Chain A
Amino acid sequence: MSAFALAWRSLFRQKRRSLLMIAVVAFGFASFALAGGFIAQSFEALREGTIRSVGQLQIADRRAVGRAEEATLEFGIPDAKRARAIAAAQPEVAAVLPRIDFVGLGTVGARSVPFLGVGVDPGPEAAATLASGLVVSGRYLSRDGGEDIVLGTGLANALEVKVGERVTLLATTPDGSLNAVDGVVAGLVDVKIKELNDRYLAAGQELVERLLQSEGKISKLVLFLKPDADEAKTAASLEKAMNAAGFSVVVLRWEDLAVFYGQVKLLYIGIFGFVGAVLVTIVILSAAIVMTMAVTERTREIGTLRALGTRPAGILRMFLAEGILIALAGCLAGTVMALVIRAALNASGIMLPPPPGASSGTVLHVNFYVLAYVAGLGAMVATMAIAAFFPARRASRIAIVDALTHV
């Protein structure tokens, strides 16, 4: 009769109480598993969105790291075609997208609104990023760019323009003079971050080069890698190849560039940690009460077992085993509960409000995140062991004669 066998039988002494405790653990475990699945899905979506936006790797002028340009394309990569070709020749690289970042003024009649512009190679850009998927009216930039421009809906509203209408773009060239070109609104996009949506403008690389009079120079190259490519290794080999070809550039990884991603992740971890701590506290308190009651009710039996030769550690093990068995039974019930609730939530189509900085919500989806289930099991077993430990230790230290006369 091992400690676990005796503990298993003891669970059936007070069936209702054991069931209640198992239900508490099941609830705690299911909450853990569901919250973990939801947060994992959120991290995954955020990661995917971030990578689609900034790329997996970026090649930028070494001087641009941590500094803002005082003039248009003050830093940047000259001889962009050659740089792009070197990057594209790396076996792990799937796509290389040039980007020209600039600021300017959009003018329609007497109305002028500042914008944050980006010049892109439309074909590869549409294929590799979410840009074309954000179009809510009209279409994305044509393959050759031409005079097409795409505006954030907020910027279009401010300029009071619709698809097909012309906008005059004014910007400062790298040598400090002003230049203007006309663009035609091909489409409107809903950029998820409101502040950006109110200023967003995209145009083909050629149109932007005409505006900035900066042929062959770009701000950076955005890279997407093949599946299973090692980001760190590729970044290192790429930087080496670029530097060897005479480009004074650095290769940055998306996690270094997307500060927002790290902040949101920390926020979620904080929320999850707080909820987890509350759950664990509830389970610990409930379990400690239940185990204390069990010890009190069985004090005379503890005295008998000690009299028969059970060592104090044997009594401790017996009550710890009882706590752990409750945890295991609770986690089993909690798994079933979590899977049922998950299926119901995913089928419900509930819309979540937009996260901070975003302009539209998403449909609630909870992933089956194995790590959350494993962590939940670990947390519940540890929680029950901690909750059982102190009553169990008290039980193991009761004076035998006092225990035998306990009423």
Chain B
Amino acid sequence: MPVRDASSRPRAESPPPLVEAAGVSRSYALGAATVRAVRDVSLAIRPGEFVALQGPSGSGKTTLLNLLGLLDRPDTGEVRVEGRDGEALSENERSDLRRDRFGFVFQTFNLVPVLTAEENVAYPLVLSGMDAGVRRQRAGELLASVGLDGKAGVRPDLLSGGERQRVAIARALANRPAVVFADEPTANLDSRTAEEILDLMRGFNETHSVAFLFATHDPRVVTRARRIVTLHDGAIEKDELR
């Protein structure tokens, strides 16, 4: 499959970024040592993209994903969401942005165990203040779209791993986000289920123009991605379009 450098994309083709890192760095204390997880990285995610962040363990994929998703703050540099400086926002404004513009899919699904599948999907809608009837309908539609229309009242502990991840995807899409951040979403799934989950996300990407950004080791994700960003030692080594 032919590839080209994403930075070579003509400016006229590029819509304004949804989320953008500009020279961000992030270090962690690990015992007495300091680990520089992300070093001076600049990266922009635009509407409708399907991007894989790949690289070896410790290369900074999850850290960069967390910074772009406003789950963490950079030591230096800037993260901008639709032109707004993330660092200038209050904690509540960052929470509201995550609720309204972002979706998250985690490796370990991270569903709320005391809520049913439908309630898990509806949770972001509750935060948005949507009426009970409307959010129930929306949650039902989303569950149906991920193939779980018969599982609305089931709690996560009675669902398989694949079903839980489908619920997590439905939850991520509940508030019609601009971008979904997925951290190793297939790592805890068997091969066939992983393929199904990826196809599902690719389908949403194509039909709803939702951007997806994956932090992944999984070659199946990489083969489906239209843009592959390779990280090494916290810095971008390659940024390729397909």
Interface positions of A (Cβ within 8 A of B):
1, 6, 9-10, 12-13, 300-301, 303-314, 399-401, 404
Contacts and interface: CB of A to CB of B under 8 A. Distances in A.
B219 interface: no
Contacts of A313: 92
B110 interface: yes
A7 to B, nearest CB: 10
A9 B99 CA distance: 23
B124 A308 contact: yes
A311 B124 CA distance: 12
Contact of A401 (B71, B112, B114, B126): B71
B72 interface: yes
The contact size tier of chain B is 20 to 34
Contacts of B72: 399-401
B212 interface: no
B80 interface: no
B114 A404 contact: no
Contacts of B39: none
A309 B112 contact: no
Given A312-B92, A404-B110, 10 more contacts: A1-B123, A300-B110, A301-B112, A304-B106, A307-B69, A308-B124, A309-B127, A310-B95, A400-B72, A401-B71
Interface string B31-68: 00000000000000000000000000000000000100
A13 B112 CA distance: 11
Contacts of B114: 6, 9-10, 12-13
24 contacts: A1-B115, A1-B119, A1-B123, A1-B126, A6-B112, A6-B114, A9-B115, A10-B114, A12-B114, A13-B113, A300-B110, A304-B106, A304-B112, A305-B123, A307-B71, A307-B98, A307-B110, A308-B99, A308-B127, A309-B175, A314-B127, A400-B71, A404-B71, A404-B110
B99 A312 contact: no
A303 B104 CA distance: 12
Contacts of B112: 6, 301, 304-305
Interface string B101-129: 00010100010111100010011101100
Nearest to A13: B114
A300 B104 CA distance: 14
B96 interface: yes
B139 to A, nearest CB: 11
B171 interface: yes
A1 B126 CA distance: 6
Residue among A1, A300, A313 having the largest count of chain B Cβ atoms under 10 Å: A1
Closest 7 CB pairs of A and B: A309-B99, A9-B114, A304-B110, A400-B71, A311-B95, A309-B98, A401-B72
A246 B110 CA distance: 89
Nearest to B126: A1
Contacts of B171: 308
Nearest to B168: A304
B75 interface: no
A303 to B, nearest CB: 8
B91 interface: yes
A12 B115 CA distance: 12
A1, A309, A310, A311 interface centre (most CB from chain B within 10 Å): A309
A309 B102 CA distance: 9
